Structure 1
Amino acid sequence: MGAGALWGLVFLAPELARAFTPLQLTVGRYLAYGVISGVLIAPRWKSLVAVITGREWRALCWLALTGNTLYYIFLSSAVQTGGIAMTSLVIGFLPVAVTLIGSRAHGAVPVVKLLPSLLLCAGGAVCIGWQALAVPAQSPVAQLVGLLCAVGALISWTIYAVGNRHWLEKLGTVSAQDWNLLTGVVTGGQALLLIPIALVLDRTHHDVSAWMQFASVSIGVAVVASIIGNALWNRMSRLLPLTLVGQMILFETLFALIYGFVWEQRLPTVLEAAAFVLICAGVISCISAHRTQVEPH
């Protein structure tokens, strides 16, 4: 829940720094994430490098790409071309995808017991995007491109969630926070490679105050969402089965909705309220299925 509450704040970042493109926001966030991670992990760097092999470094590069860099680029592109509602609808199926993959693990809760939770989750995702999807698209081509980008983001973060859980289980000698900081260092390196692209694609002149605001938002999101939020997520990933980990992603959606209502100073619509109720019911149903699984007979 804590990770979801902090991750939900990321959706306010584009509003707080509207003068900058999503790619610039991505570079700013993850560059700050990398620098802060490097500073925090520096005292333990030698001991960590001693236990991290080339295989783990390759895994970190892949996880940083799928869970951070590539995911955020796909997500930003989907929002720009296809709209927030359509993107939210597709990304809302993340818990379904991760839970279905987790159900294949040995000793996992059967899909049949998780079906009510999955249906409630899917219903909440549909409610989130239904209103805006009813509005005719400005460009069918743009809508298709946005849909493909949203599906790419869905696949990318699903791969990250499953892969990250696998490596956290495998590397018992590395703490959840150190694994997060190592991911941050690698993500920061990838952000450096994106700087030339971000500068070429947008040559808009920004004054000093705009850059200061950009830096504040980037550092704030990096600390709150990436450093603290990811640390909570990694810790949770080691404590809960993957079928339940998938459902925990819903808290990001819940808190993003709450922050959105506060930012816009309005109450939720009927469909938004329905989505809120369905998502909560889905999480409760999933927890109930797992409690039944461990009760003694």
Structure 2
Amino acid sequence: MISTAAGTPGTNRTILGVACGMGAGALWGLVFLAPDLVRAFTPLQLAIGRYLAFGLISAALIGSRWRSLVAAVPARGWLSLAWLSLAGNTLYYVLLSTAVQTGGIAMTSLVLGFLPVPVTIIGSRDSGAVPLRKLVPSLLLCVAGAVCIGWQAIAAPAAGAVTGLLFAIGALASWTAYAIGNTRSLSRFAHVSAQDWNLLTGVVTGLQATALIPVTLLFEPLNHTPQAWLEYAGVSIAVALLASIGGNLLWNRMSRLLPLTLVGQMILFETLFGLLYAFVWERRLPTPLEAAAFVLVVASVLTCIAAHRRRAGLAITAAAT
């Protein structure tokens, strides 16, 4: 029997994958602030601005490689890009923005903090996945952390909290479908790089945003000041560059490095960074419950990583015997 040394390929993949997941969470956490920064605009208008910018930037980055990329993606790949763009971008951001503007960041973070639970449970059915029973401690810590994050909002709900909760649950369902579908699509179309897959997603999402412009022109107010429009454009471009280009690239890279049961845990970094940015924006320290949530969520991720590292170590040891 050959013992496993530190720095095995499986361990290195896990470390790199977690680093990518942390980076994606740091960039995605900014989306919680955006609806608060430009409250004069509706959630649909926020989605249109962000994803028009995302689509234009993606098309510019693809440039002359467009024909070769189109040829590399089969018809079913474009169908996947269409529904993933809707579930993970357009619909998700409208639901999230509505939840933030009506129920607040804490309420929205609470619900989205539960994302690892359905993703991990579904991912545990994949071939070679870590058994669900070994992930129970991590899931329990995740649930405890999510409850702490939103306990104050639930104990003393403000006006609009119920509406915000319903929209946050919708965002949770939408992003769960995206997280699972995107991971499996990246595996199915492995010949397309993570960056190119993200850029193609951007182009498709940009087309969806363009199709929604007539809706906002007909049914939503557009009597904003020039200063408000400048702020709207700045926030849209910033979120497109940081969250949609940078965050999605890191997430796609992570999705190819980690199993689905661990991918779900990585979204907790978005919750943590979203709360951190909120504290800075509101110029306050976390409450005891919020501090406890940080500890519990970090413990949840570390416990899940440990379960996967043990399984990877056993697999390498068994292969070497």
TM-score normalised by L of structure 1: 0.94
The correspondence for 1:122, drawn from 126, 140, 143, is 143
Q: Is the Cα contact below 8 Å between 1:102 and 1:108 reproduced in 2?
A: yes
The equivalent residue for 2:155 is 134
1:128 alignment partner AA: I
Question: Which stretch of structure 1 is more off in the superposition, 250-259 or 85-94?
Answer: 85-94
What's the CA shift for 1:19?
Answer: 2.2
1:286 correspondence with 2:310: no
Match of 1:189 among 207, 210, 214: 207
Give the alignment's Cα RMSD to 1 decimal.
Answer: 1.6
Bigger Cα displacement from structure 2, 88-97 vs 112-121: 88-97
Query: Deviations for 1:108-153, whole angstroms, at most 9, x for unmatched residues?
Result: 00111111110111111111111011114547xx72x443322221
C-alpha distance in structure 1 between counterparts of 2:164 and 2:302, whole Å: 32
Deviation of the 1:264 alpha carbon: 1.2
Q: Following superposition of structure 1 onto structure 2, how do residues 219-258 of structure 1 map, counting pairs within 5 Å?
A: 219-258=237-276
- Decide which of 59, 66, 73 is 1:38's aligned counterpart: 59
**From 278, 281, 303, the counterpart of 1:263:** 281
Contact 2:32–2:100 (8 Å) recurs in 1: no
How many Å separate the matches in 2 of 1:59 and 1:14?
28
Kept after mapping to 2: 8 A contact 1:103/1:111:
yes
The residue matched to 2:33 in structure 1 has which SS?
helix
Which position in structure 1 is the counterpart of 2:169?
151
Would you say 1:211 and 2:229 are equivalent positions?
A: yes
Sort the Cα spacing of 1:73 and 1:255 in 2 relative to 1 into closer, same or farther, 3 A. same
1:90 aligns with 2:111: yes
Take 1:116 and 1:264, find their aligned partners in 2: how far apart are those partners? 33
Query: Counterpart of 1:169?
Result: 187
What is the distance in 1 between the residues matched to 2:35 and 2:104?
Answer: 14
Q: Match for 1:167: what amino acid?
A: S
User: What letter is aligned with 1:158?
Assistant: T
Distance 1:258 1:137, change over 3 A: closer
CA separation in 2, counterparts of 1:136 and 1:15?
18
CA distance in structure 1 between the partners assigned to 2:33 and 2:97 by the alignment: 13
Aligned CA distance change for structure 1 residues 51 and 136 (closer, same or farther; 3 Å): closer
**Cα distance, 1:54 vs structure 2:** 1.4
- Contact conserved, 1:177 with 1:231, CA < 8 A, in 2? yes
Counterpart Cα distance in 2 of 1:177 and 1:198? 31
Give the alignment's TM-score, normalised by structure 2: 0.87
Equivalent position amino acid for 2:285 in 1: L
Aligned length: 294
Q: Do the aligned partners of 2:90 and 2:208 also contact (CA within 8 Å) in 1?
A: yes
TM-aligned CA deviation for residue 74 of structure 1:
1.9
In 1, Cα distance between equivalents of 2:38 and 2:281:
14
Distance 2:296 2:219 in 1: 40
Inter-CA distance 264–287: structure 2 relative to 1 (3 Å threshold): same
> Which stretches in structure 2 are left out of the alignment for 5+ residues?
1-21
Q: Percent identity?
A: 68
Residues 43, 95 of structure 2: 8 Å contact kept: no
Letter in 2 for 1:242: L
Q: Report 1:25-64 matches (<5 A).
A: 25-64=46-85
Letter in 1 for 2:25: G
Following TM superposition, by how much is the alpha carbon of 1:207 offset from its aligned partner in structure 2, in angstroms?
2.1
> 1:17 is aligned with what amino acid?
V
- CA–CA distance in 1 between the matches of 2:294 and 2:170? 25
